Structure 1
Amino acid sequence: MIRKIKLTAIIAFGISALCFAQGRTPDFAFKLENTSYIMNLSNGKAKAKNDTVFYNLYRIGKAQRIAKEIKHIVNKATGDTIKSGSYEVINNQIFFYQKEKNKATLLRLYTQNEKGLLTLQTAVASFVGPKVTAPAAPGISPSPSTDHLTKVDIQAEFPGGISKARQFIANNLKYPREAQENEIEGTVRVKFMVELDGSISNIEIVNKLGYGLDQEVIRVIKRMPKWAPAKNDGKPVRSYFTMPISFRVN
Protein backbone atom coordinates (compact mmCIF):
# COMPACT_ATOMS: atom_id res chain seq x y z
CA MET A 1 0.00 0.00 0.00
CA ILE A 2 1.51 3.31 -1.10
CA ARG A 3 1.39 6.00 1.58
CA LYS A 4 0.07 9.41 0.57
CA ILE A 5 2.34 12.29 1.46
CA LYS A 6 1.07 15.20 3.51
CA LEU A 7 -0.35 17.91 1.29
CA THR A 8 0.55 21.50 2.08
CA ALA A 9 -1.44 23.34 -0.56
CA ILE A 10 -4.95 24.71 -0.02
CA ILE A 11 -7.43 23.56 -2.67
CA ALA A 12 -8.82 26.84 -3.89
CA PHE A 13 -11.88 27.50 -6.04
CA GLY A 14 -9.83 27.30 -9.21
CA ILE A 15 -8.72 23.78 -8.35
CA SER A 16 -12.25 22.63 -7.63
CA ALA A 17 -13.57 24.16 -10.82
CA LEU A 18 -11.00 22.36 -12.97
CA CYS A 19 -11.56 19.05 -11.23
CA PHE A 20 -15.32 19.19 -11.59
CA ALA A 21 -14.79 20.00 -15.24
CA GLN A 22 -12.85 16.75 -15.45
CA GLY A 23 -15.68 14.98 -13.65
CA ARG A 24 -13.86 14.31 -10.39
CA THR A 25 -12.16 15.81 -7.39
CA PRO A 26 -8.34 15.61 -7.23
CA ASP A 27 -6.54 12.70 -5.61
CA PHE A 28 -3.60 14.97 -4.70
CA ALA A 29 -3.01 18.73 -4.75
CA PHE A 30 0.09 20.81 -4.00
CA LYS A 31 2.05 23.91 -4.92
CA LEU A 32 5.50 24.54 -6.33
CA GLU A 33 6.21 28.08 -5.17
CA ASN A 34 3.22 30.05 -6.58
CA THR A 35 2.04 27.45 -9.11
CA SER A 36 -0.73 25.01 -8.14
CA TYR A 37 -0.91 21.43 -9.38
CA ILE A 38 -3.26 18.49 -9.03
CA MET A 39 -2.65 14.80 -9.59
CA ASN A 40 -5.34 12.26 -10.45
CA LEU A 41 -5.05 8.48 -10.57
CA SER A 42 -6.12 6.48 -13.61
CA ASN A 43 -6.25 2.79 -14.51
CA GLY A 44 -4.69 1.01 -17.44
CA LYS A 45 -6.63 -1.09 -19.95
CA ALA A 46 -9.21 -3.30 -18.27
CA LYS A 47 -8.40 -6.31 -20.48
CA ALA A 48 -4.64 -6.07 -19.92
CA LYS A 49 -2.72 -8.90 -18.24
CA ASN A 50 -1.60 -6.57 -15.46
CA ASP A 51 -3.47 -4.09 -13.30
CA THR A 52 -1.77 -0.71 -13.82
CA VAL A 53 -2.46 2.57 -12.02
CA PHE A 54 -0.94 5.88 -13.15
CA TYR A 55 -0.31 9.29 -11.64
CA ASN A 56 -1.58 12.04 -14.00
CA LEU A 57 -0.10 15.48 -13.31
CA TYR A 58 -1.88 18.72 -14.30
CA ARG A 59 -1.18 22.39 -13.78
CA ILE A 60 -4.19 24.32 -12.47
CA GLY A 61 -5.86 26.21 -15.30
CA LYS A 62 -4.38 23.95 -18.01
CA ALA A 63 -6.31 21.00 -19.44
CA GLN A 64 -3.24 19.39 -21.00
CA ARG A 65 -1.61 16.67 -18.90
CA ILE A 66 2.01 17.39 -17.95
CA ALA A 67 3.11 13.92 -16.91
CA LYS A 68 1.89 10.33 -16.62
CA GLU A 69 3.89 8.22 -14.19
CA ILE A 70 3.43 4.68 -12.85
CA LYS A 71 1.95 4.22 -9.38
CA HIS A 72 1.93 0.43 -9.51
CA ILE A 73 1.70 -2.59 -11.81
CA VAL A 74 0.20 -5.76 -10.35
CA ASN A 75 -0.10 -9.19 -12.00
CA LYS A 76 -3.84 -9.92 -12.00
CA ALA A 77 -3.35 -13.69 -11.93
CA THR A 78 -0.92 -13.90 -9.02
CA GLY A 79 -1.44 -10.62 -7.20
CA ASP A 80 2.33 -9.98 -7.28
CA THR A 81 3.54 -6.39 -7.56
CA ILE A 82 5.67 -6.08 -10.66
CA LYS A 83 6.49 -2.39 -10.25
CA SER A 84 5.65 0.13 -7.54
CA GLY A 85 5.89 3.89 -7.69
CA SER A 86 5.59 6.86 -5.38
CA TYR A 87 6.18 10.60 -5.42
CA GLU A 88 7.37 13.45 -3.23
CA VAL A 89 7.11 17.22 -3.50
CA ILE A 90 10.11 19.13 -2.14
CA ASN A 91 10.59 22.87 -2.73
CA ASN A 92 10.25 23.41 -6.51
CA GLN A 93 10.65 19.74 -7.48
CA ILE A 94 8.43 16.69 -7.93
CA PHE A 95 10.21 13.35 -7.45
CA PHE A 96 8.69 10.19 -8.99
CA TYR A 97 10.21 6.84 -7.99
CA GLN A 98 9.68 3.52 -9.80
CA LYS A 99 10.92 0.29 -8.25
CA GLU A 100 11.02 -3.20 -9.69
CA LYS A 101 11.99 -6.19 -7.59
CA ASN A 102 15.77 -6.73 -7.52
CA LYS A 103 16.37 -3.74 -9.80
CA ALA A 104 17.72 -0.27 -9.16
CA THR A 105 15.19 2.44 -8.41
CA LEU A 106 14.29 4.71 -11.33
CA LEU A 107 14.00 8.40 -10.47
CA ARG A 108 12.14 10.86 -12.67
CA LEU A 109 12.56 14.44 -11.47
CA TYR A 110 10.43 17.39 -12.59
CA THR A 111 11.96 20.75 -11.65
CA GLN A 112 10.09 24.05 -11.97
CA ASN A 113 12.18 26.90 -13.37
CA GLU A 114 11.81 30.65 -12.85
CA LYS A 115 9.20 30.84 -15.63
CA GLY A 116 7.03 28.25 -13.91
CA LEU A 117 7.76 25.51 -16.45
CA LEU A 118 8.76 21.95 -15.56
CA THR A 119 11.84 20.20 -16.94
CA LEU A 120 12.35 16.45 -16.69
CA GLN A 121 15.45 14.53 -15.65
CA THR A 122 15.73 10.75 -15.37
CA ALA A 123 18.29 8.84 -13.32
CA VAL A 124 18.82 5.41 -11.80
CA ALA A 125 19.66 5.12 -8.11
CA SER A 126 23.02 3.52 -7.31
CA PHE A 127 21.57 0.90 -4.99
CA VAL A 128 19.39 -2.16 -5.37
CA GLY A 129 16.89 -2.95 -2.64
CA PRO A 130 17.97 -6.14 -0.82
CA LYS A 131 15.78 -9.20 -0.34
CA VAL A 132 14.52 -8.88 3.21
CA THR A 133 11.66 -10.07 5.38
CA ALA A 134 11.21 -7.56 8.18
CA PRO A 135 12.49 -4.08 9.04
CA ALA A 136 14.97 -3.57 11.81
CA ALA A 137 14.83 -0.61 14.14
CA PRO A 138 16.12 2.54 12.41
CA GLY A 139 19.15 4.10 13.99
CA ILE A 140 21.56 6.97 13.88
CA SER A 141 25.01 6.34 12.47
CA PRO A 142 27.82 7.04 14.95
CA SER A 143 29.60 10.00 13.42
CA PRO A 144 27.55 13.19 13.12
CA SER A 145 29.47 16.28 12.07
CA THR A 146 29.11 19.99 12.68
CA ASP A 147 29.21 22.81 10.18
CA HIS A 148 29.52 26.10 12.06
CA LEU A 149 28.54 29.58 11.00
CA THR A 150 31.62 30.73 12.90
CA LYS A 151 34.53 29.02 14.59
CA VAL A 152 33.42 27.74 17.99
CA ASP A 153 35.16 26.61 21.14
CA ILE A 154 32.41 24.20 22.22
CA GLN A 155 30.19 22.34 19.77
CA ALA A 156 26.42 22.14 20.08
CA GLU A 157 25.28 19.03 21.94
CA PHE A 158 22.10 17.03 22.33
CA PRO A 159 21.02 16.74 26.01
CA GLY A 160 23.06 13.88 27.46
CA GLY A 161 25.35 13.59 24.44
CA ILE A 162 25.34 11.61 21.22
CA SER A 163 24.31 8.34 22.89
CA LYS A 164 21.12 10.01 24.10
CA ALA A 165 20.58 11.37 20.59
CA ARG A 166 20.79 7.81 19.22
CA GLN A 167 18.29 6.67 21.81
CA PHE A 168 15.91 9.53 21.01
CA ILE A 169 16.07 8.72 17.28
CA ALA A 170 15.52 5.00 17.84
CA ASN A 171 12.57 5.63 20.15
CA ASN A 172 10.80 8.09 17.88
CA LEU A 173 11.66 7.16 14.30
CA LYS A 174 9.18 4.97 12.43
CA TYR A 175 9.94 2.98 9.30
CA PRO A 176 7.38 4.22 6.74
CA ARG A 177 5.21 1.45 5.35
CA GLU A 178 5.95 2.54 1.79
CA ALA A 179 9.70 2.10 2.39
CA GLN A 180 9.12 -1.30 4.00
CA GLU A 181 7.01 -2.54 1.11
CA ASN A 182 9.66 -1.41 -1.39
CA GLU A 183 12.49 -2.80 0.78
CA ILE A 184 14.29 0.54 0.85
CA GLU A 185 17.26 1.06 3.12
CA GLY A 186 20.07 3.58 3.29
CA THR A 187 21.11 6.78 5.04
CA VAL A 188 19.35 10.12 5.13
CA ARG A 189 21.66 13.04 5.94
CA VAL A 190 19.86 15.91 7.60
CA LYS A 191 21.29 19.36 8.27
CA PHE A 192 19.80 21.78 10.78
CA MET A 193 20.68 24.85 12.79
CA VAL A 194 21.00 24.94 16.57
CA GLU A 195 19.87 28.40 17.64
CA LEU A 196 21.16 30.50 20.53
CA ASP A 197 18.46 29.09 22.82
CA GLY A 198 19.15 25.49 21.70
CA SER A 199 16.04 25.19 19.54
CA ILE A 200 16.20 23.56 16.09
CA SER A 201 15.56 25.48 12.86
CA ASN A 202 16.36 25.44 9.13
CA ILE A 203 15.98 21.66 8.74
CA GLU A 204 17.26 20.51 5.35
CA ILE A 205 17.63 17.03 3.87
CA VAL A 206 21.08 16.83 2.27
CA ASN A 207 20.95 13.21 1.04
CA LYS A 208 17.44 11.98 0.18
CA LEU A 209 16.05 8.44 0.05
CA GLY A 210 12.39 9.12 -0.69
CA TYR A 211 9.58 6.69 0.08
CA GLY A 212 8.56 8.75 3.10
CA LEU A 213 11.95 8.35 4.82
CA ASP A 214 13.00 11.99 4.37
CA GLN A 215 9.72 13.31 5.81
CA GLU A 216 10.01 10.93 8.74
CA VAL A 217 13.49 12.23 9.58
CA ILE A 218 12.25 15.82 9.45
CA ARG A 219 9.32 14.93 11.71
CA VAL A 220 11.61 13.44 14.35
CA ILE A 221 14.17 16.26 14.20
CA LYS A 222 11.37 18.75 14.82
CA ARG A 223 10.44 16.83 17.98
CA MET A 224 13.91 17.00 19.49
CA PRO A 225 14.31 18.79 22.83
CA LYS A 226 16.47 21.91 22.97
CA TRP A 227 20.20 21.34 22.57
CA ALA A 228 23.04 22.96 24.44
CA PRO A 229 24.09 25.60 21.87
CA ALA A 230 27.62 25.93 20.57
CA LYS A 231 29.81 28.48 22.33
CA ASN A 232 32.56 30.83 21.27
CA ASP A 233 34.48 32.86 23.86
CA GLY A 234 31.97 31.62 26.43
CA LYS A 235 28.96 33.01 24.57
CA PRO A 236 26.25 30.97 22.76
CA VAL A 237 26.45 31.08 18.97
CA ARG A 238 24.29 29.65 16.21
CA SER A 239 25.74 26.61 14.46
CA TYR A 240 24.83 24.02 11.88
CA PHE A 241 24.77 20.33 12.63
CA THR A 242 24.72 17.53 10.05
CA MET A 243 23.43 14.17 11.20
CA PRO A 244 23.28 10.91 9.17
CA ILE A 245 20.30 8.72 10.12
CA SER A 246 20.37 5.17 8.80
CA PHE A 247 17.48 2.90 7.92
CA ARG A 248 18.33 -0.81 7.79
CA VAL A 249 16.29 -3.95 7.25
CA ASN A 250 17.01 -7.50 8.41
Structure 2
Amino acid sequence: MITKYKLTVVLIFTLSTLGFAQNRKPDYVFKLGTINYFMNLSKGNAKAQNDTLFYNLYRNGSTKRIAKEIKHIVNRNTGDTLQAGYYVVLEKTISFFQTFKAKKTTQRVYTQNVNGLLSVKSGVLTIDPPKMPIPPMAPAADNTGYPEQVDIPAEFPGGMARARQFIGNNLEYPKKAIDAEIEGTVQAKFTIELDGSISNIEIVRSLGYGCDEEVIRVIKRMPKWAPAKRDGKAVKSYITMPISFNLN
Protein backbone atom coordinates (compact mmCIF):
# COMPACT_ATOMS: atom_id res chain seq x y z
CA MET A 1 0.00 0.00 0.00
CA ILE A 2 1.34 3.41 -0.98
CA THR A 3 1.00 6.17 1.60
CA LYS A 4 0.91 9.85 0.69
CA TYR A 5 2.47 12.45 2.96
CA LYS A 6 1.73 16.13 2.92
CA LEU A 7 4.23 18.82 3.90
CA THR A 8 3.12 22.39 4.42
CA VAL A 9 4.93 25.71 4.58
CA VAL A 10 2.13 28.02 5.71
CA LEU A 11 0.33 26.82 2.56
CA ILE A 12 -0.04 23.09 1.85
CA PHE A 13 2.21 21.18 -0.53
CA THR A 14 1.09 17.76 -1.70
CA LEU A 15 3.61 15.10 -2.68
CA SER A 16 2.06 12.80 -5.26
CA THR A 17 2.71 9.06 -5.29
CA LEU A 18 1.21 8.06 -8.65
CA GLY A 19 3.02 5.51 -10.82
CA PHE A 20 4.41 6.34 -14.25
CA ALA A 21 6.77 5.06 -16.92
CA GLN A 22 10.28 3.72 -16.40
CA ASN A 23 9.13 1.37 -13.61
CA ARG A 24 9.70 3.90 -10.85
CA LYS A 25 7.54 6.24 -8.87
CA PRO A 26 7.90 9.84 -10.09
CA ASP A 27 9.21 12.43 -7.67
CA TYR A 28 6.90 15.16 -8.99
CA VAL A 29 3.80 15.12 -11.23
CA PHE A 30 1.83 17.99 -12.78
CA LYS A 31 -0.23 19.06 -15.79
CA LEU A 32 0.29 21.69 -18.45
CA GLY A 33 -3.16 22.21 -19.91
CA THR A 34 -4.52 18.69 -20.36
CA ILE A 35 -1.15 16.96 -20.74
CA ASN A 36 0.48 15.08 -17.85
CA TYR A 37 4.18 15.47 -17.08
CA PHE A 38 6.43 14.09 -14.39
CA MET A 39 9.95 14.57 -13.05
CA ASN A 40 12.44 12.15 -11.55
CA LEU A 41 15.51 13.16 -9.59
CA SER A 42 18.98 11.89 -10.43
CA LYS A 43 22.37 12.34 -8.80
CA GLY A 44 25.57 13.54 -10.43
CA ASN A 45 28.98 11.87 -10.27
CA ALA A 46 29.36 10.34 -6.80
CA LYS A 47 33.14 10.95 -6.91
CA ALA A 48 32.89 14.64 -7.77
CA GLN A 49 33.84 17.35 -5.28
CA ASN A 50 30.28 18.67 -5.26
CA ASP A 51 27.03 16.83 -4.63
CA THR A 52 24.74 17.57 -7.60
CA LEU A 53 21.06 16.65 -7.93
CA PHE A 54 19.08 17.04 -11.17
CA TYR A 55 15.44 17.38 -12.22
CA ASN A 56 14.64 15.16 -15.25
CA LEU A 57 11.46 16.23 -17.04
CA TYR A 58 9.31 13.75 -19.01
CA ARG A 59 5.96 13.73 -20.73
CA ASN A 60 3.69 10.99 -19.39
CA GLY A 61 3.91 7.85 -21.52
CA SER A 62 7.24 8.78 -23.13
CA THR A 63 10.73 7.62 -22.20
CA LYS A 64 12.38 10.57 -23.97
CA ARG A 65 13.67 13.16 -21.51
CA ILE A 66 12.53 16.71 -22.30
CA ALA A 67 14.85 18.60 -19.96
CA LYS A 68 17.55 18.15 -17.34
CA GLU A 69 17.83 20.99 -14.81
CA ILE A 70 19.90 21.40 -11.65
CA LYS A 71 18.10 21.05 -8.31
CA HIS A 72 21.14 21.81 -6.20
CA ILE A 73 24.94 21.77 -6.11
CA VAL A 74 26.41 21.38 -2.62
CA ASN A 75 30.08 21.33 -1.65
CA ARG A 76 30.62 17.92 -0.04
CA ASN A 77 33.38 19.22 2.25
CA THR A 78 31.78 22.40 3.61
CA GLY A 79 28.07 21.74 3.09
CA ASP A 80 27.73 25.12 1.36
CA THR A 81 25.08 25.40 -1.35
CA LEU A 82 26.79 26.70 -4.50
CA GLN A 83 23.70 26.60 -6.68
CA ALA A 84 20.05 26.03 -5.81
CA GLY A 85 17.19 25.33 -8.19
CA TYR A 86 13.43 25.20 -7.91
CA TYR A 87 10.51 25.20 -10.33
CA VAL A 88 7.11 26.84 -10.69
CA VAL A 89 4.24 25.38 -12.76
CA LEU A 90 1.61 27.64 -14.30
CA GLU A 91 -1.22 26.81 -16.74
CA LYS A 92 0.93 26.33 -19.86
CA THR A 93 4.49 26.82 -18.59
CA ILE A 94 7.02 25.30 -16.24
CA SER A 95 9.82 27.64 -15.12
CA PHE A 96 13.12 26.48 -13.61
CA PHE A 97 14.99 29.02 -11.49
CA GLN A 98 18.69 28.82 -10.64
CA THR A 99 20.22 30.89 -7.87
CA PHE A 100 23.98 31.27 -7.35
CA LYS A 101 26.17 32.61 -4.58
CA ALA A 102 27.64 35.45 -6.62
CA LYS A 103 25.28 35.78 -9.60
CA LYS A 104 21.75 36.87 -10.36
CA THR A 105 18.97 34.31 -10.48
CA THR A 106 18.47 32.78 -13.92
CA GLN A 107 15.20 31.49 -15.32
CA ARG A 108 14.46 28.91 -18.02
CA VAL A 109 10.83 28.75 -19.17
CA TYR A 110 9.30 25.80 -21.03
CA THR A 111 6.10 26.90 -22.77
CA GLN A 112 3.53 24.53 -24.26
CA ASN A 113 2.29 25.42 -27.76
CA VAL A 114 -1.05 24.52 -29.42
CA ASN A 115 0.40 21.17 -30.53
CA GLY A 116 1.35 20.24 -26.97
CA LEU A 117 5.10 20.63 -27.56
CA LEU A 118 7.42 22.56 -25.25
CA SER A 119 9.72 25.37 -26.35
CA VAL A 120 12.33 26.89 -24.05
CA LYS A 121 13.62 30.40 -23.37
CA SER A 122 16.33 31.46 -20.93
CA GLY A 123 17.13 34.72 -19.20
CA VAL A 124 18.23 36.50 -16.04
CA LEU A 125 15.47 37.05 -13.50
CA THR A 126 14.98 40.63 -12.36
CA ILE A 127 13.02 40.99 -9.13
CA ASP A 128 10.83 44.07 -9.22
CA PRO A 129 10.56 46.08 -6.00
CA PRO A 130 7.21 45.87 -4.21
CA LYS A 131 4.61 48.26 -5.58
CA MET A 132 2.27 48.16 -2.57
CA PRO A 133 2.91 49.53 0.91
CA ILE A 134 4.35 46.85 3.18
CA PRO A 135 3.79 46.73 6.94
CA PRO A 136 6.94 47.28 9.00
CA MET A 137 8.64 44.29 10.56
CA ALA A 138 8.12 43.59 14.23
CA PRO A 139 10.78 44.71 16.73
CA ALA A 140 13.59 42.23 17.23
CA ALA A 141 12.86 40.33 20.43
CA ASP A 142 16.44 39.29 21.13
CA ASN A 143 18.10 42.72 21.37
CA THR A 144 20.14 42.15 18.22
CA GLY A 145 20.17 45.83 17.38
CA TYR A 146 18.20 45.33 14.16
CA PRO A 147 15.97 48.29 13.24
CA GLU A 148 12.44 48.05 14.59
CA GLN A 149 11.03 49.12 11.24
CA VAL A 150 12.19 48.68 7.66
CA ASP A 151 10.99 50.29 4.45
CA ILE A 152 11.30 47.11 2.38
CA PRO A 153 11.37 43.67 4.09
CA ALA A 154 13.83 40.99 3.08
CA GLU A 155 12.57 38.95 0.13
CA PHE A 156 13.28 35.49 -1.29
CA PRO A 157 14.15 35.56 -5.04
CA GLY A 158 10.75 35.74 -6.74
CA GLY A 159 8.78 36.35 -3.52
CA MET A 160 7.36 34.26 -0.69
CA ALA A 161 5.30 32.07 -3.04
CA ARG A 162 8.55 30.87 -4.55
CA ALA A 163 10.12 30.49 -1.12
CA ARG A 164 7.27 28.13 -0.25
CA GLN A 165 7.78 26.38 -3.59
CA PHE A 166 11.50 25.95 -2.83
CA ILE A 167 10.81 24.48 0.60
CA GLY A 168 8.03 22.26 -0.71
CA ASN A 169 10.41 20.86 -3.34
CA ASN A 170 13.23 20.20 -0.87
CA LEU A 171 11.63 19.27 2.44
CA GLU A 172 11.48 15.55 3.31
CA TYR A 173 9.33 13.96 6.02
CA PRO A 174 11.75 12.34 8.51
CA LYS A 175 11.30 8.58 8.81
CA LYS A 176 11.28 8.78 12.62
CA ALA A 177 8.35 11.21 12.47
CA ILE A 178 6.48 9.01 9.98
CA ASP A 179 6.98 5.89 12.12
CA ALA A 180 5.77 7.73 15.23
CA GLU A 181 2.91 9.39 13.29
CA ILE A 182 4.10 12.83 14.36
CA GLU A 183 2.32 15.88 12.95
CA GLY A 184 2.67 19.54 13.77
CA THR A 185 4.50 22.78 13.02
CA VAL A 186 8.14 23.74 13.39
CA GLN A 187 8.70 27.47 13.71
CA ALA A 188 12.14 28.67 12.64
CA LYS A 189 13.67 32.10 13.02
CA PHE A 190 16.72 33.22 11.06
CA THR A 191 18.69 36.33 10.16
CA ILE A 192 18.98 37.81 6.67
CA GLU A 193 22.41 39.44 6.57
CA LEU A 194 23.39 42.59 4.65
CA ASP A 195 24.44 40.49 1.64
CA GLY A 196 21.23 38.42 1.74
CA SER A 197 22.85 35.31 3.21
CA ILE A 198 21.16 33.37 6.01
CA SER A 199 22.59 33.02 9.51
CA ASN A 200 21.57 32.39 13.13
CA ILE A 201 18.94 29.75 12.38
CA GLU A 202 16.96 29.10 15.56
CA ILE A 203 14.06 26.73 16.23
CA VAL A 204 11.57 28.67 18.34
CA ARG A 205 8.85 25.99 18.22
CA SER A 206 10.15 22.43 18.19
CA LEU A 207 8.47 19.25 16.92
CA GLY A 208 11.30 16.77 17.37
CA TYR A 209 11.65 13.37 15.67
CA GLY A 210 14.05 14.83 13.10
CA CYS A 211 11.64 17.55 11.92
CA ASP A 212 13.65 20.40 13.49
CA GLU A 213 16.85 19.19 11.85
CA GLU A 214 15.10 18.81 8.48
CA VAL A 215 13.82 22.39 8.62
CA ILE A 216 17.31 23.67 9.45
CA ARG A 217 18.82 21.62 6.61
CA VAL A 218 16.44 23.09 4.03
CA ILE A 219 16.79 26.68 5.27
CA LYS A 220 20.59 26.35 5.01
CA ARG A 221 20.18 25.41 1.35
CA MET A 222 18.13 28.48 0.52
CA PRO A 223 19.67 30.92 -1.96
CA LYS A 224 20.49 34.46 -0.87
CA TRP A 225 17.55 36.75 -0.19
CA ALA A 226 17.27 40.39 -1.16
CA PRO A 227 18.12 42.06 2.18
CA ALA A 228 15.74 44.39 3.98
CA LYS A 229 16.21 48.10 3.38
CA ARG A 230 15.75 51.22 5.45
CA ASP A 231 16.39 54.71 4.09
CA GLY A 232 17.66 53.08 0.90
CA LYS A 233 20.37 51.05 2.68
CA ALA A 234 20.54 47.31 3.33
CA VAL A 235 19.96 46.35 6.97
CA LYS A 236 19.96 43.08 8.87
CA SER A 237 16.55 41.64 9.65
CA TYR A 238 15.03 38.39 10.79
CA ILE A 239 12.39 36.09 9.34
CA THR A 240 10.08 33.83 11.35
CA MET A 241 8.77 30.95 9.23
CA PRO A 242 6.30 28.22 10.31
CA ILE A 243 6.71 24.89 8.48
CA SER A 244 4.09 22.19 9.06
CA PHE A 245 4.33 18.41 8.74
CA ASN A 246 1.08 16.51 8.11
CA LEU A 247 0.40 12.84 7.41
CA ASN A 248 -2.46 11.67 5.21
TM-score by length of structure 2 reads: 0.50
With normalisation by structure 1, the TM-score equals: 0.49
Structure of larger gyration radius: 1
